[in-house]
Structures are given as C-alpha cells and as structure tokens.
Amino acid sequence: MSPINLAIVGVGKIVRDQHLPSIAKNPDFNLIATASRNGTVDGVQSFTTIDAMLDAVPEIDAVSLCMPPQYRYEAAHKALSAGKHVFMEKPPGATLSEVHDLEALAAEKGLSLFASWHSRYAAAVEAAKSFLASTRIDSVHVVWKEDVRQWHPNQDWIWQAGGLGVFDPGINALSIVTHILPKAIFLTSATLEFPENRDAPIAADLHFKNADGVPARAEFDWRQTGKQSWDIFAETAAGQMVLAEGGSKLTVDGELKFSAPEEEYPALYRRFAEIVKAGQSDVDLAPLRHVADAFMLGKRKSVEAFHD
Ligand code: NAP
C-alpha cells in the first residue's frame, strides 16, 4: 500500500512536540498539508481553514485533528464528509454524543475513525495489564498531580467549558485504568474543585468501585509544585503494584518489572495505519464517559481564583 497522505489540523504544542517527529519516522505516512489559523510546518503547504485545505488538496487521505476538544467535532465531520480517515487527539470531543455521531458517520462512509489515547501506549501499560490479570486486586489508587503553570501555560481553552480543566491530564490516567483493569469500574462519588474565576476544575477526587465492590480512587490536582506525580497504585494478592511516571515504569513491591523509553506517539501512528489498512475504527469512550459521570455526580466546591 502506498503511504497515507496525511494532513494536520491545529498546529500547536502537541503537534510540534509529538506528532511531527512521529510522522516523520513512519513510512506509512506522508505529511502533505496543514490547516491552522496561525501555525505552519516548514516545507508543508499550509491553509488557515480545513475547508480551504480539503478543497485545494484532494489527494489527502487522512487528517489528524489536534485542536482543543471543543472544536474537534466540526472539523471531524467535515473531514469524514469529504471521505478522509480521521485521527483525533484526546479527548476525542467535548461531549459523548458528538463522538457517537462521528462514529456513525465513519461507519456509514466506510472510513476509519481513531479516538486516540496516547497514555495507553506508555511503555509499561501492557505489562501492568498482564500483571493485574494474574492476581487478585484489592484496591486501586491513582495519583495524578501536576503543576498547571508548567504544563499548560496560558492555555485559555483548557479552563473554558468543554476544556475539562484538570481532567485534561486526568483523562490520561483514566485511559490507562480502563485498559489495565480486568473489570469495569463505575463512579460512586466525586468532589470537583473549581477556581471561582474558571469554568473547569483545578482538582478532582473520584471514588469508583467495580461489580465485586473493589474500590478505586483517583486524585487529580493541578496545584502540585515540586515533584510531579503520574502514578497508579494497586494493592494485590501478589504485592503492591506501582505503574509510575505516566505508565512508563512498573514495579511490584519495589522490584522493577518493566521500564522502557517513551514511544507513545510513534505507537499511535502505527495503530492508525493499522486500522486504516484493516478498514476499521478504534473508538473507546470509557475514559470520557468517566469524566462525564464526574461532572454529573460530583459535588462542586468553589476554591481560590486561578491566574496564570
Ligand atoms: P494548543 O497548542 O493550545 O492548541 C493546538 C492548536 O489548536 C493551537 O495552536 C491553535 O492553532 C488551535 N486552536 C486553539 N484554539 C482554537 C480554537 N478556538 N479554534 C480552532 N483552533 C484552535 O494545545 P495542545 O497542547 O497542542 O493540545 C491540543 C490537543 O492535544 C488537546 O486536546 C490536548 O488535550 C491534546 N494533548 C496535548 C498534550 C500536551 O502536552 N500539550 C499532550 C497530549 C495531548 P491555530 O491558532 O494555528 O489555529
């Protein structure tokens, strides 16, 4: 099969940090155009709107949508309607219903839709999944605490409705948890802390259980200075499992079981090529569903205003 002619929409931080190097290394993709109001990529023809790009470059086969989630549906709908396969950055949309709508459109058109969850491709995630499948799990505790000023400086969209606030990183933890636990969990209670001047939470404390009553807790906080935490702990019959550093390092009772260099975005593009070739979609909305449940069930607490 000849390479997939790819276009990127929304050229910003994650495109420069991860998408461009991963695409450049993957012979299955040929980056031929971008659409972004301000961003461009050296040596690639650029447009300021997706409509202009789709009109001018009919040989585009697929688009990667890397703008904030509040603007993803419209672009995805246009791309699928124009017959293009679609890769969506996480979170795949601003609502569950709009992503279901895109899934139906992709199926109707015979196109591939990829709701990507990059953290699921962190190095030690599969090893953690195998470990948990082999033992009894007594409890799970997610600690995902980072400094928003360091990781999301001046990103206004992230604080607006639909930007998800602390769930923007927190959904990465949920994407791992929903992949590695052998049984589904569901939310039983939550507290969301909203800065008094913002429409999205700065912290969340979520309590889940599964059908057997096994508890899981997730603490997300954007006010962490100093050491950053992206860790998942599980108390099990075989000892304490720690999936640390965003899913890249696995230990059991302190003994290192698996660790490897980060390869998340190269793996995402390998997966996208695979589903395009196979004529499939890959859309798992479990992480976004848990976030929606938190907004539905969570108590709201107003906290000190946040200024960048
Ligand atoms: P970003 O740099 O703030 O935004 C990406 C680009 O989207 C911007 O450069 C902008 O390009 C375009 N954009 C911004 N506001 C827009 C609007 N109102 N309408 C249309 N386009 C708009 O954000 P990012 O950090 O790259 O994140 C983008 C997506 O990737 C998010 O869903 C995020 O969760 C996900 N992600 C981010 C990271 C990370 O570390 N940053 C990691 C993994 C995933 P133009 O101004 O040129 O249009």
User: Are 34 and 7 a contacting pair, CB within 8 Å?
Assistant: yes
The per-residue pLDDT for range 165-190, each reduced to its tens digit, is 999 999 999 999 999 999 999 999 99
Decide which of 115, 144, 167 is a domain's last residue.
Answer: 115
Whether the pTM exceeds 0.85: the reply is: yes
136, 162: one domain? yes
Question: Bridge partners of 63?
Answer: 7, 86
137, 197: one domain? yes
H-state helical runs in 27-71: 50-56
Decide which of 115, 133, 158 is a domain's last residue.
Answer: 115
247, 223: one domain? yes
Total of domains in the chain: 2
137, 102: one domain? no
142, 29: one domain? no
Q: Is there an atom of ligand 1 within 6 Å of 68 CB?
A: yes
127, 258: one domain? yes
Query: What pLDDT shows up at residue 136?
Result: 98
* Any domain includes 190: yes
145, 247: one domain? yes
28, 137: one domain? no
pLDDT over 90 (residue 1): no
Q: Is there an atom of ligand 1 within 6 Å of 25 CB?
A: no
* Any domain includes 286: no
Q: Which residues of 289-302 are buried (b: 16+ CB within 10 A; e: fewer)?
A: ebbbbbeeebeeee
* Any domain includes 269: no
Q: Could you tell me which residues come within 8 angstroms of residue 121 by beta carbon, excluding any fewer than 6 positions away?
A: 263, 264, 265, 267, 268, 271
pLDDT over 80 (residue 146): yes
Span from the CA of 273 to the centroid of ligand 1 (angstroms): 23
* Any domain includes 281: no
Rg, Å, the chain Cα set:
20
CA-nearest of 79, 70, 105, 69 to 7 is 79
Span from the CA of 67 to the centroid of ligand 1 (angstroms): 4
Q: Could you tell me which residues come within 8 angstroms of residue 136 by beta carbon, excluding any fewer than 6 positions away?
A: 236, 237
Q: In the numeric block, which tokens belong to residue 305?
A: 């205003």
Span from the CA of 61 to the centroid of ligand 1 (angstroms): 22
The per-residue pLDDT for range 215-244, each reduced to its tens digit, is 999 999 999 999 999 999 999 999 999 999
Span from the CA of 249 to the centroid of ligand 1 (angstroms): 28
Band of the pLDDT at 35, cuts 50, 70, 90? very high
Q: What is the CATH number of the domain that holds 209?
A: 3.30.360.10
User: Average per-residue pLDDT in the chain?
Assistant: 98
* Any domain includes 275: no
Q: Is there an atom of ligand 1 within 6 Å of 72 CB?
A: no
User: Are 202 and 194 a contacting pair, CB within 8 Å?
Assistant: yes
User: Could you confirm whether 84 is annotated as catalytic?
Assistant: no
101, 136: one domain? no
First CA to last CA across the chain, in angstroms? 48
CA atoms within 13 A on the CB side of 17: 8
154, 296: one domain? yes
Q: Is 174 helix (H, G, I), strand (E, B) or coil?
A: helix
* Any domain includes 26: yes
* Any domain includes 83: yes
91, 212: one domain? no
pLDDT over 90 (residue 266): yes
CA–CA distance, 37 with 7 (Å, rounded to integer)? 14
Q: Which residues of 238-273 are buried (b: 16+ CB within 10 A; e: fewer)?
A: eeebbbbbbbbbbbbeeeebbeeebebbbbbbebbb
Query: What pLDDT shows up at residue 200?
Result: 98
The per-residue pLDDT for range 55-71, each reduced to its tens digit, is 999 999 999 999 999 99
The per-residue pLDDT for range 268-285, each reduced to its tens digit, is 999 999 999 999 999 999
Q: Is 58 helix (H, G, I), strand (E, B) or coil?
A: coil
* Any domain includes 97: yes
Which candidate in 78, 84, 90, 249 is catalytic?
Answer: 90
Q: What is the CATH number of the domain that holds 53?
A: 3.40.50.720
Q: Is 45 helix (H, G, I), strand (E, B) or coil?
A: strand
Query: What pLDDT shows up at residue 206?
Result: 98
Question: Domain range for residue 221?
Answer: 119-263+292-303
Query: What pLDDT shows up at residue 216?
Result: 98
144, 246: one domain? yes
Query: What pLDDT shows up at residue 70?
Result: 96
The answer to whether the bond into 27 is cis (omega within 30° of 0) is: no
Q: Is there an atom of ligand 1 within 6 Å of 75 CB?
A: no
Q: Is there an atom of ligand 1 within 6 Å of 168 CB?
A: yes
Query: What pLDDT shows up at residue 292?
Result: 98
The per-residue pLDDT for range 87-122, each reduced to its tens digit, is 999 999 999 999 999 999 999 999 999 999 999 999
Decide which of 115, 143, 164 is a domain's last residue.
Answer: 115
The per-residue pLDDT for range 288-306, each reduced to its tens digit, is 999 999 999 999 999 999 9
